[in-house]
């Protein structure tokens, strides 16, 4: 009887693990006041610009940073496109999914949506690489359903940490699989990571002061590296696809080490 009870307990444990929910794909809001206020601001921003928006940027604090250190670069490259910044610091894939269902896309029909999300899911053991992959994939699928006429540029999750480490490796594994979402028709892939690294794999403080968030120079790299793709989304006849034509490697990274 004791052996039978032990077996039942073991099977119950396995069943519980098998049925464990992937939090990265379950839409979830946040209750902190800063997030609630930011979400309301984004919805108002979407309502004000509406269908005039040509580009939306979707992400976490790195995307929100376009309003901080990236402000001047944003004005130069994206203001004339009526671009909307839909980044909120600390967000994970589940928070973005909730936002996309609760006002962040209401009334917009942009030519392009730029997505970069997932680094916050990678903290510690919060989510596995597989779970994060599923979370980002769910966001892309949501965009394709809600905005069928919008081209999606999916960015590889940026590297983090001054040098090689477990978390950077985790993100690299996710990126290896993420790129398969791109079909070069409606969803395109871009990996800007090499532009933020030196030859020995370190991240210069001049580009990421805390080895996670971008500086002014870092946002300049982001903007210049895929400007041609936005022209393609505008229908200006650029023939290369994001998969077969690597984004331009900017030669000046080493100047900032």
Span 144-189, pLDDT tens digits:
999 999 999 999 999 999 999 999 999 999 999 999 999 999 999 9
In a domain, 257, yes or no: no
- Residue 141 domain-assigned (yes or no): yes
pTM of the prediction? Answer: 0.86
Whether residue 196 is predicted with pLDDT greater than 80 in this model: the reply is: yes
pLDDT computed for residue 63 by the predictor = 98
Its domain, for residue 88, covers 19-245
Q: What is the average pLDDT value for the chain, to the nearest integer?
A: 87
Q: Which domain CATH number covers 135? A: 3.40.50.1110
Domain presence at residue 4: no
With a cut of 70, say whether residue 209 has pLDDT above it.
yes
Q: Who contacts 64 (Cβ-Cβ below 8 Å, separation ≥6)? A: 38, 85, 87, 88, 89
In a domain, 101, yes or no: yes
Domain membership of residue 210 (yes or no) is: yes
pLDDT of residue 232: 73
Instruction: For residue 110, name the pLDDT band (cuts at 50, 70, 90).
Output: very high
Question: Is residue 251 included in any domain, yes or no?
Answer: no
pLDDT cut 90: percent of the chain above it: 79
Number of domains in the chain: 1
In a domain, 217, yes or no: yes
Q: What pLDDT does 249 receive?
A: 41
In sign, the C-alpha dihedral spanning 160, 164, 166, 172 is positive
Please give the pLDDT value at position 236: 62
pLDDT at 246: 40
φ/ψ of residue 60, rounded to 5 = -110, -145
14 part of a folded domain = no
Return the structure tokens found at 185.
């028709």
Q: Annotated catalytic sites, by residue?
A: 61, 210, 213
26-78: per-residue pLDDT in tens? 999 999 999 999 999 999 999 999 999 999 999 999 999 999 999 999 999 99
CA–CA separation, 211 and 204 (whole Å): 8
Q: Per-residue pLDDT for 201 more than 60?
A: yes
Query: pLDDT band for position 223 (50/70/90)?
Result: very high
């Amino acid at each position: 009887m004791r052996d039978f009870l032990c077996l039942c307990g073991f099977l119950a444990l396995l069943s519980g693990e098998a049925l464990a929910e992937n939090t990265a794909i379950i839409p979830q809001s946040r209750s902190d006041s800063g997030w609630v206020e930011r979400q309301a601001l984004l919805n108002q921003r979407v309502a004000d610009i509406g269908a005039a928006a040509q580009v939306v940027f979707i992400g976490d604090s790195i995307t929100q940073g376009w309003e901080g250190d990236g402000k001047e670069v944003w004005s130069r490259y994206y203001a004339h496109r009526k671009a909307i910044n839909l980044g909120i610091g600390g967000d994970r894939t589940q928070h973005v999914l909730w936002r996309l269902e609760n006002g962040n896309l209401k009334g917009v029909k942009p030519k392009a949506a730029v997505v970069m999300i997932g680094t916050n899911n990678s903290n510690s053991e919060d989510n596995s690489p597989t779970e994060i992959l599923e979370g980002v994939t769910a966001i892309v699928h949501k965009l394709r359903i809600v905005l069928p006429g919008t081209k999606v540029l999916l960015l590889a999750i940026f590297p983090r940490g001054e040098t090689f480490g477990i978390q950077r490796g985790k993100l690299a594994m996710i990126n290896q699989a993420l790129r398969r979402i791109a079909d070069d028709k409606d969803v395109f892939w871009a990996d800007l990571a090499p532009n933020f690294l030196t030859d020995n794999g370190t991240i210069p403080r001049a580009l990421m002061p805390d080895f996670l968030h971008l500086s002014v120079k870092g946002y300049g790299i982001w903007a210049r590296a895929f400007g041609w793709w936005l022209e393609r989304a505008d229908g200006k006849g650029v023939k290369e696809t994001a998969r077969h034509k690597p984004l331009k490697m900017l030669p000046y990274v080493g100047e900032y080490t």
